[in-house]
Structure 1
């Protein structure tokens, strides 16, 4: 539901660089050439990048025409705001809070927290748990994120302990669909060049707490007033971690995982102990880790856009070599605030992230050439990847071979949170439907291809040909058809997103209101009010 007074800012009006063409302006050249961001406690300064010639751009823009709606209330653009990381953390979200006052009233986080407390401690224990929460839920692991929450609490009137609970519990209760799909796009040589292909990252977020739909926002992060966008997230107002985000060269999302290692007594206790430490603010939540991955500078992703005089936090630097640019509150807890993420980011994800301590989750990462999912547990994890089509829901790969394992996970999820059991039970059927959709779309594209179109190439690695992945491609319209399929985008869906890790942009986003269309006609039709033209063009 779109609240009155919410400020919108069109993505199609970026600041045009001198000498840039209209096409370059549309795709936000400054974002493509964006500087790498610092860690969550430092700031990097640099001048706007020069214009870029898209005739030689390895990632030319892909156009996704928005669906045409019969009713505006069926889906809306989430309100979009700019977060200036050069401001003190306490002041960064004040302008967002001013425009989200009605949404805060509708969402009523206090009532949602009451319902969670009643589920955990019914009867006379509930008041005692409320009083305990007000005393112990005072901060997150990262001091900068805590300062942001204090500013949000002061500007919005939401109690601080509610915001802390929101941030440490939300990533444990989300049912989602995420993945990557290789799509045909214009060639890097400009008009007349043979087409290429690259991965787009799709994502839907499902949850039973309907009131939170009103808090859906899109946030663009900049390092200075008027500076280029360095990262974008689609999230909830008041949530300072990352559930869905993209930077140049990398996109990411987080899904709920119903499994965790119960093989030994030590692992079971260690998992619950870690969860308790996250809730109390002594350890980093998995969404906070994703935030660090999104904002940590990386020369391999950002190229030459990091100036020599940029102030960048580096892990294990000696204290006398550090040059922090953070607020006094964050500085007082720098050792606790410092994110444990190092660049280059992609090798860190592959080699170090699985061994970190965390709650159970599916972490989905997409580059222009590959989609990869980490089945994460506390202290270990397993990767699955593909260069053509890769989707992650709320079950492990092993569950597809052993349905009884998934049934046990669904039972456990239902005990932990209302509605999660149903989401887990439906996970495999949704996976089968999405896989069939992709195969049909790939066959349609092959049938329409002209002779010689097999020369289509990926903008990334030639290894795609060796794997045979480029033989399975779809068009951008098929991505939207898949995301809006009734089995994927259902009555539990809060928002849906399509991201382009090549450009570091959110290409398409929709937030769904409190009332979802009641009927869907036909297995191959989109929900009423969510139709779009068949002639979606590049």
Structure 2
């Protein structure tokens, strides 16, 4: 499966959706009637409860929806292996836990509450971070932070998550994590998913973007496949589990320098890791056991390609096509287009930006596209982590059309 399976129709950058599913809210606890499509439902996950029962309320509300992950699992197996029936047979015996004992207990609790087999819940929680396409970054705005706070001219974290798996749209929720009666972090996630793809706590916000594994990767294909197998079998944590540990740790958030040092050499699926503090942005172009580190204190963005690819000549594009194949090329081309669009925000507005400007740019095509599941703006200067704006998409966005762009015309 391509991580961003947008149609190959190119889109105009001036198009802004007029759909009314936007939810703008502060950090009060809210719940949504599941028959309504106007807001993203918000749940509290109490970390002081036994792990097996932390997700009982979510499971009760989404039991019927979670029963529908079987087709998603089947699709993933078709894309992940040439022998899906054999892998499915083995999975029922082998996929019983994840690396963390605490998270394994949560998964067994979800399985018991929903009736979804344990191996499917394990697969859902280990496959999900392998295939999504995204736009993420941080930008300095004039109205960050709470009124009168120290970070009125601080960094906010913008995020759009794209995936071609439409059944997951009905599982999108917001979560407030509670410890000892206090909100310690917030996240946007999927019901039944316990890792972190998008989250924020006081002092730090986090998002994860898919990264293509290139043939030129310093780690071999065998090393990557071995890592994936070790994650699936619970011998290594998934990257979303690692991010969860960072987000939900009772200790103060680590510095960006510390994150860059510790995560660069840690074994993870290739990805882009985006971290924001109220003062700075960090992006790691992460390979299996290495990373390219980028930082900024005003604006930094990433989609689903390495920055070095933006300067390729036509000859270098052709060489990449021969080396990597057309599927990788399509992903990179689409990713560059989305990054150009989101970067236009900073180029145009610069230091005069406000949160509303960031929100608007997240709704400009192709940053917003037919694969977009949700978009949000997070503020790490807010106690408990600030979700300033969240929008989820129950249905694919209708795209405006223009003439297709030939790859070598870029």
Structure 1 residue 146 and structure 2 residue 104: aligned?
yes
**Cα 1:409/1:473, change in 2 over 3 Å:** farther
Partner residue in 2 for 1:458: none
1:437 and 2:317 equivalent? no
Q: CA deviation at 1:212?
A: 0.5
Give 1:274 deviation, angstroms: 1.3
Q: Please, which of 360, 370, 375 is the counterpart of residue 270 of structure 2?
A: 360
- 2:65 paired residue among 103, 108, 111: 103
Write out per-residue CA displacement over residues 441-485 of structure 1, whole angstroms, 9 at most, x where no aligned residue: 23xxxxxxxxxxxxxxxxxxxxxxxxxxxxx34122211111111
Which residue of structure 2 aligns with residue 182 of structure 1? 140
- Following superposition, the deviation at residue 103 of structure 1 comes to 2.8
> Secondary structure at 1:185's aligned position in 2?
coil
User: What does residue 255 of structure 1 align with?
Assistant: 209
Distance 1:249 1:286 in 2: 20
Contact 1:395 1:406 in 2 (8 A): no
**Matching residue of 1:135:** 93
Contact 2:196/2:243 (<8 A) preserved = yes
CA 1:491–1:140 in structure 2 vs 1: closer, same or farther (change >3 Å)? Answer: same
**Is it true that 1:516 corresponds to 2:397 in the alignment?**
yes
Per the alignment, residue 377 of structure 1 pairs with: 287
Tell whether the 8 Å contact from 2:144 to 2:355 is kept in structure 1 after alignment: no
CA distance in 2, matches of 1:260, 1:232: 33
Question: After superposition, what is the alpha-carbon deviation per residue over 1:368-402, rounded to whole angstroms, capped at 9, x for unaligned?
Answer: 11111011112211111211111110001111122
1:211-255 deviation per Cα after TM superposition (whole angstroms, max 9, x unaligned): 11111111111113xx11001110111111100000001000000
Matching of residue 205 in structure 1 with residue 113 in structure 2: no
Query: 2-side partners of 1:153 and 1:195: how far apart?
Result: 42
CA displacement at 1:120 relative to structure 2:
4.2
1:519 Cα deviation from its structure 2 partner = 4.8
In 2 relative to 1, CA 95–502 (structure 1 residues): closer, same or farther, beyond 3 Å? Answer: same
| Rounded Cα–Cα distance in structure 2 between residues aligned with 1:211 and 1:408 | 34
CA distance in 2, matches of 1:164, 1:410: 36
Bigger Rg, which one:
1
For 1:150 and 1:194, the matched residues in 2 are separated by: 43
Q: How many angstroms does 1:425 deviate by?
A: 2.3
User: Contact between 2:188 and 2:198, CA under 8 Å: does it hold in 1?
Assistant: yes
Q: What pairs with 1:461-500 in structure 2 (closer than 5 Å)?
A: 472-500=351-379
Aligned to 2:405: none
2:200 pairs, out of 246, 257, 262, with: 246
Are 2:56 and 1:94 aligned?
yes
Pairs aligned (count): 371
State how far apart, in whole Å, the 1-side matches of 2:381 and 2:177 are.
18
Are 1:290 and 2:243 an aligned pair? yes
Residue 334 of structure 1 corresponds to none
Q: Which moved more, 1:488-497 or 1:177-186?
A: 177-186
How much has 1:357 moved relative to structure 2?
1.0
The residue number in structure 2 matching 1:235 is: 189
> For 2:69 and 2:39, how far apart are their aligned partners in 1?
22
Deviation string for 1:418-439 (max 9, x for gaps)?
xx86443211122122222322
Cα deviation for residue 77 of structure 1 reads 2.1
8 Å CA contact retained: 1:104, 1:156: yes
Pick from 124, 137, 141 the counterpart of residue 166 of structure 1.
124
Unaligned runs of 5+ in 1: 1-7, 16-71, 302-343, 443-471, 522-538
* Structure with greater strand share of residues: 2
Please report the RMSD computed on the Cα atoms of aligned residues, expressed in angstroms.
3.0
1:518-533 aligned at under 5 Å gives the runs: 519=400
Tell me the CA shift for residue 170 of structure 1: 1.2
**TM-score with structure 2 length normalisation?**
0.82
- Counterpart of 2:407 in structure 1 is none
Q: How far is 1:13 from its partner?
A: 4.3
Please report how far the alpha carbon of residue 364 of structure 1 lies from its aligned counterpart in structure 2 after TM superposition.
0.1
CA contact (8 A) 1:211 1:514 kept: no
Are residues 13 and 360 of structure 1, via their aligned partners in 2, closer, same or farther at CA, if it must alter by over 3 Å?
closer
CA distance in 1, matches of 2:324, 2:284: 21
Match of 1:113 among 54, 73, 80: 73
Distance 1:187 1:166 in 2: 35
For the Cα contact (< 8 Å) 1:168–1:279, is it kept in 2? Answer: yes
Query: Higher mean Cα deviation, 399-408 or 194-203?
Result: 399-408
1: CA distance between counterparts of 2:153 and 2:335? Answer: 28
**2:151–2:278 Cα contact (<8 Å) kept:** no
Picking from 305, 326, 331, the partner of 1:395 is 305
1:186 Cα deviation from its structure 2 partner: 7.4
